[in-house]
Amino acid sequence: MGTVRRTPEASLEEIFLRASGALPEQDGDGRGRIVAEALGYLQEGFGAHYAAGRATDDAILVGDTSYAWAVDTIARLDEPRFVGVASRMIRDGAGEISRGGAVTLELWTPHLAQLLGIISGEDEGRSEERIKTAIEEVVRGPE
């Protein structure tokens, strides 16, 4: 029996890179790339920890290492708001999984929008539109 994913198939890193790359000022300080990298590690950690079934010791180690890389990566920005949003992402995702569900892009879209809003200075609604557009592009793939 194969492993069932409990996290989104689409790459959060790629989604965030697309959304932050669409910002008017092109993210000159590189925060979008750093947040995207941290999201990649966060998603990898979730995937290792919460694959359907019981996680092995190796999977837990991989997940813990990925979470540590996510924290280390986001800490480079020295911005407590990023850490707060990431903490809520983890809490909400773990809560959904503990209820027997799976983490979806819809669950994490508001969090991704909050992260993008911190970088862009835009209101959350506009950032959410950018995230949703990026999700559509990533899920649809190259044409």
Instruction: Write down the pLDDT at residue 52.
Output: 55
Instruction: Write down the pLDDT at residue 101.
Output: 80
Instruction: Write down the pLDDT at residue 4.
Output: 52
Total of domains in the chain: 1
Instruction: Write down the pLDDT at residue 1.
Output: 40
Cα separations in angstroms, 57 against 3, 10, 43, 71? 16, 26, 18, 21
Per the structure block, which two tokens stand in for 63?
A: 């997940």
Instruction: Write down the pLDDT at residue 2.
Output: 45
Task: Determine, yes or no, domain membership for 82.
Answer: yes
In terms of residue numbers, what domain contains 18?
12-138
Instruction: Write down the pLDDT at residue 71.
Output: 82
CA 105 to chain centre: 9
10-residue stretch averages of pLDDT, the chain, 143 residues long: 64 94 67 91 82 69 82 84 87 84 90 93 93 94 70
Would you call 5 exposed, middle or buried from its count of C-beta atoms within 10 A (0-12, 13-18, 19+)? middle
Instruction: Write down the pLDDT at residue 28.
Output: 56
pTM of the entire predicted model: 0.85
Per the structure block, which two tokens stand in for 11?
A: 């790459």
